[in-house]
Structure 1
Amino acid sequence: MNSIARNILAVILGLFVGSAVNMAIIMVSSSVIPPPDGADLKTVEGLKAAMPLMEPKHFVMPFLAHALGTLVGALTAAKIAASYKMRFAIAIGFCFMVGGIMNILMLPSPLWFTIVDLGLAYVPMAYFAGKLGIGKNN
Structure 2
Amino acid sequence: MNTTVKNTIAVVLGLVIGSAVNSLFIAIGPSIIPPPEGADVTTVEGLAASMRLFEPQHFIFPFLAHALGTFVGALVAAGIAATHRFKIALSIGLVFLVGGFYMVLSLPSPVWFSMLDLFVAYMPMAYMAGKIMDTRNGSSNSFGPVL
Fold-level similarity (TM above 0.5): yes
The one-letter amino acid paired with 1:31 is S
Partner of 1:17: 17
Partner of 1:117: 117
Give ranges in structure 2 of 5+ residues lacking alignment. Answer: 139-147
Give how far 1:137 is off.
3.5
Query: Normalising by structure 1, what TM-score?
Result: 0.98
Partner of 1:59: 59
User: Sequence identity, in percent?
Assistant: 57
Residues matched between the structures, number: 138
After TM superposition, the structure 1 = structure 2 runs for residues 46-85 of structure 1, keeping only pairs within 5 Å, are 46-85=46-85
- Bigger mean CA deviation after superposition, 127-136 or 97-106: 127-136
Give how far 1:52 is off.
0.4
SS of the residue 1:108 aligns to: coil
Give how far 1:38 is off.
1.2
Give how far 1:134 is off.
1.9
Distance, in Å, in 2 between the alignment partners of 1:136 and 1:13 is 19
The one-letter amino acid paired with 2:113 is F
Give how far 1:136 is off.
4.0
The one-letter amino acid paired with 2:134 is I
The one-letter amino acid paired with 1:36 is P
Partner of 1:129: 129
SS of the residue 1:87 aligns to: helix
Distance, in Å, in 2 between the alignment partners of 1:60 and 1:83 is 35
SS of the residue 1:96 aligns to: helix
Give how far 1:49 is off.
1.2
SS of the residue 1:90 aligns to: helix
Distance, in Å, in 2 between the alignment partners of 1:5 and 1:42 is 39
**Over residues 17-59 of structure 1, what are the superposed CA-to-partner deviations in whole Å (9 max), with x where a residue is unaligned?**
0000000110000001000001111101111111000000000
Distance, in Å, in 2 between the alignment partners of 1:39 and 1:114 is 20
**Over residues 32-87 of structure 1, what are the superposed CA-to-partner deviations in whole Å (9 max), with x where a residue is unaligned?**
10000011111011111110000000000000000000000000110001000000
Give how far 1:101 is off.
0.4
Give ranges in structure 1 of 5+ residues lacking alignment. Answer: none
Distance, in Å, in 1 between the alignment partners of 2:25 and 2:50 is 19
Flag as ranges the 4+ runs of structure 1 deviating above 6 A: none
The alpha-carbon distance between structure 1 residues 124 and 63, as it changes in their structure 2 partners (threshold 3 A), is: same
Partner of 1:36: 36
